[in-house]
Amino acid sequence: MSAHPAAILRRIRHAPRPAESDRGITLIELLVSMMLLGLIMAMVTGLYLSMSRSVSLGQSMDGSTRVASNAANELSQVLRFATTLKVAGVSAPSPAFVAAGRESVTFYSNVDVNAAASVTVLPSKPTRVKFEIDATTRSLVESRWTATASGAAWIFAAPATTANSSVNLGSRYIAPGAGTPLFSYFNLAGGAIATPATGSMSDADMALIRSIRITVRVQGTSGPSAGPVLVENTITLPNLVVRP
């Protein structure tokens, strides 16, 4: 005998309902959870990227500072010993500078003089040095030529010959444009000696050089955001200051 419909309805109404903990989550709750998770992930990612940029920027600045400082130290040390060159059979020595431009300078220096060597017959052995920034790679290169004894004087091969040694003093040197160049030259009174936009100044002007200001600008590897490192130094040339 079939149950009465009213009894069936009563049983349905009184059937046990699932516990609240077994109910699961609704679609709206799921969407809200996903949105909050996305916001948290975005914040964490942004923080990570910011920290990565800061670390990269710091490393870039540190590297650029080392390059600029090392270059400035080398330039200062070698230029400070610039000296004239005694020529056999001629009373007046050759000027200390062979060429002097905005981003290139060639000169004689006593930087490698052997203090124990005798100067009875020959004067102290000089070295011809050239500092030049490669216009393509923006690298600063130091080249040196060794002197050869000739009677009571020292002689060098032509400037166009291959140097006896060369060393790269780093790259990413910023082109000066219309600003202060790598090398600025001054006479005994401290007056600036005009330097042509390209090439070297005249022999007459080079004979007047008594001090040089170096302005080293190195760009960080992280691009313009890293900002350039600037090192400046004015080098007095003691071997030349006492000369007329």
**Residue 113, burial from CB neighbour count under 10 angstroms (0-12, 13-18, 19+):** middle
The token pair at 47 is 């923080």
The arithmetic mean of pLDDT across residues 102-127, rounded, is 75
Q: Is the pLDDT of residue 76 over 80?
A: yes
Inform me whether the pLDDT recorded for 162 exceeds 80.
yes
Minimum mean pLDDT range among 29-43, 123-137, 183-197: 29-43
> What are the backbone dihedrals phi and psi of residue 89, each rounded to the nearest 5 degrees, phi first?
80, 5
pLDDT: is 140 or 242 the higher one? 140
pLDDT at 116 (0 to 100): 47
Predicted local distance difference test score (pLDDT) of residue 222: 58
pLDDT at 109: 94
Region 104-123 average pLDDT: 70
pTM: 0.73
DSSP helix/strand/coil, 39:
helix
Rounded-to-integer distance, Cα 241 and Cα 244, Å: 8
Average pLDDT score, the chain: 82
CA distance 233 to 36: 56
Q: What are phi and psi of 65, to 5 degrees?
A: -65, -40
Which pair of structure tokens corresponds to residue 30?
Answer: 């799921």
pLDDT value of residue 160: 85
Amino acid 138: pLDDT: 92
Q: Are 183 and 103 in contact (CB under 8 A)?
A: yes
Contact 224, 232 (CB under 8 A): no
Q: Please give the DSSP secondary-structure letter assigned to residue 181.
A: -
Segment among 24-38, 70-84, 104-118 with least mean pLDDT: 104-118
In the predicted structure, residue 118 carries a pLDDT above the cut 50: no
pLDDT for position 166: 94
Highest mean pLDDT: which of 8-22, 71-85, 87-101, 146-160? Answer: 71-85
Q: Which amino acid is at 99?
A: A
How far apart are the C-alpha atoms of 204 and 97, rounded to whole Å?
Answer: 11
Residue 65 in this model has a pLDDT that exceeds 50: yes
**What is the pLDDT averaged over residues 108-126?**
67
Compute the average pLDDT of residues 168-174.
Answer: 89
- Greater pLDDT, 90 or 13: 90
d(CA 242, CA 232): 25
Per-residue pLDDT at 210: 96
- C-alpha to C-alpha distance for 140 and 73, rounded to whole angstroms: 13
Quote the percentage of the chain above a pLDDT of 70. Answer: 76
216 forms beta bridges with 231
